[in-house]
Amino acid sequence: MKYEITYTQQGDYLLPDLKLPKQPKVEIGIWGRRHERYIKQYHKIRYSNLLSSGTLVAYLADIDTEATEMYDRLVQQFAKQEGISEQLKADNQMMWVQMMNNIRNRATEIVNAELVYC
């Protein structure tokens, strides 16, 4: 392989013209964005390696997909364990909202701890 390197004059210095490889256009949700902020702040080398190799977007999309699936599965499992049903929603909406918010908060904490901030 032969690479042609071009340079740009900046004052007295010649700096190489570096370009990042093309990355696919993928929508990254909240879980992927949270993980991106986390690795950008606390794991700078890993972030730089992913960015420079062109795999950051795919990596974040995978994290986002996995976290979304885990969150949905946890919410369903907790609701089933605690007996939350459509009947409860029809009978006592405020109780249903309280219980579902509690479940969603627990599921969010678990996903954050196991996937996003690790």
Give counts: helices (H), strands (E), the chain: 5, 2
Residues whose CB falls within 8 Å of the CB of residue 66, separated by 6 or more in sequence, listed in order: 115
57 touches 90 (CB < 8 A): no
In tens digits, what is the pLDDT along the chain, a chain of 118 residues? 566 788 899 999 988 887 766 767 889 999 999 999 999 999 999 999 998 888 999 999 999 999 999 999 999 999 999 999 999 999 999 999 999 999 999 999 999 999 999 8
Q: d(Cα 70, Cα 64) in Å, to the nearest integer?
A: 10
| pTM for this prediction | 0.79
Q: d(Cα 24, Cα 54) in Å, to the nearest integer?
A: 9
pLDDT of residue 17: 83
The alpha carbon dihedral of 49, 54, 55, 61 has a sign of positive
Radius of gyration of the chain (CA): 22
**pLDDT tens column, 4-14:** 788 899 999 98
90 touches 84 (CB < 8 A): no
Cα angle for residues 40, 57, 39 (degrees, 5° grid): 15
